[in-house]
Amino acid sequence: MDITEIKIPDIGSESVEVTEILVNVGDRIKKEDSLLVVEGQKTSMEIPSPVSGIINKINVNIGDMVKTSTLVMFIEVECVNNNKKQLKEKYIDFFEMSKNKDTFLKKKKDTLNIFEKKNIYTSPIVRRLARINDIDLSKIKGTGPKNRILKSDLLKIILEREKGLIASQVDQTKKINNFNFSNLDFNKIKISKIQKNININLLNSWKNIPHVTQFDEVDVTELEDFRKKYNLKSINKEKKITILSFIVKTLFISLKEFPLLNSSLSEDGDYIFLKKKINIGIAVDTDNGLVVPVLKNLKNKNIVEISEEIVNFSKNSKLGKLLFSDLQDGTFTVTSLGSIGGTAFTPIINPPEVGILGLSRCIIKPIWNHDKFIPRVILPFSLSYDHQIINGAYACRFTNFFKKNINDIRFLLM
């Protein structure tokens, strides 16, 4: 009978919080079944089982902080003659062995009551989420160890609020249109945990940040000609440079020149934090929703290196192989619909950032050159920014500087 240790896979250097335990001791599970959910600052990750078997022992609790290689569970590799009765005989609850069970529980309860009057057990992430949504933590009884308030406790309250609002809106719609929703045929689609978190973050961003979106376009004809020539002459045909790599490099230069777009606003609104590092996140569409891996150390990377990193991030995002460290420390975000279509859109800011650039599909436009109309490759883009920090004139100067550099790639060499 083999016992397999289950450890946290390589998630980078970050410690993450156990937010859900999806199995119990004695549960029979299959390979790739999810065992628990861990959560960092910007994403959640389900930890799958590498084997089939029966949960033998769970070494962690909800709220525990874990990191790469932390031992979280033991799984008994499933045998034909194994059964749950043997497991129950092997693991007898401690309190069933204690002769002073009632006395012990009473002391434990009294101690917790005294301690809880002075402290609220929760994580910084939960406290921030509570502040954003105006939730009084002192009025919540957490479901975690020692009544620790978990993120799931807050999400439940937030979702109930939203359900109430949606229900009210649906009722009004029914009255206006004399419409009975229950008579319609429909299919239900389960929303993933990551997508739920994304939805909440997007809603909070839209509620709490006064968005302004500026629409513009830039001539990338010379840039596209150069890019295509380079790719044709490149020795490695699989490593083609993309237009997005030029955008990222140009953004790095532009954000150095206009640091307010590389800042954050303090929670009390009294300070602006100008960030010394410029780390650009790239929004990637996956089956589980959007993820935003972050390009770092851009000062020391050329266009080819940036392009290779973008391609690798895109592949790992869709395969679910990103590390938590890949998603951390972004200061500005780029999101692109160029491969799909559209002429303009309004991207939503990724807090605590204050700006996001949206790229649409390149189009051919006739441009007057003082003599005749000539075809030019035009890239439409949208800049959304936090109006608490950025005003329209500053944003316009930023986009003009960005256009000058992307329009003539020789500026990238200066």
Positions marked catalytic: 387
Cβ atoms within 10 Å, residue 303: 17
- Per-residue DSSP letter, 149: B
Under 8 Å CB-to-CB from 392, ≥6 apart: which residues? 212, 214
Q: Which two tokens stand for residue 96?
A: 């069933």
Which amino acid, 20? Answer: E
**Taking the CA atoms of the chain, what radius of gyration do you get in angstroms?**
26
Q: Which two tokens stand for residue 3?
A: 């016992």
Q: What is the Cα–Cα distance from 80 to 128, expressed in whole angstroms?
A: 49
Which amino acid, 103? Answer: T
Distance of CA 328 to CAs 2, 45, 69, 401, Å?
Answer: 38, 14, 20, 27
Q: What is the Cα–Cα distance from 157 to 111, expressed in whole angstroms?
A: 28
Q: What is the Cα–Cα distance from 361 to 340, expressed in whole angstroms?
A: 7
Provide the Cα torsion 395, 396, 401, 406; round to 10°.
100
- Per-residue DSSP letter, 98: -
Backbone torsions φ then ψ of 42, nearest 5 degrees: -125, 0
What is Dmax (Cα atoms) for the chain? 99
Distance of CA 376 to CAs 334, 358, 366, Å?
Answer: 24, 20, 6
Question: Is 63 within 8 Å of 18 (Cβ atoms)?
Answer: yes
Q: With b meaning 16 or more CB within 10 Å and e meaning fewer, what string describes 324-344?
A: bbbbbebbbbbbbbbeeeeee
Q: What is the Cα–Cα distance from 264 to 277, expressed in whole angstroms?
A: 12
Q: What is the Cα–Cα distance from 189 to 187, expressed in whole angstroms?
A: 7
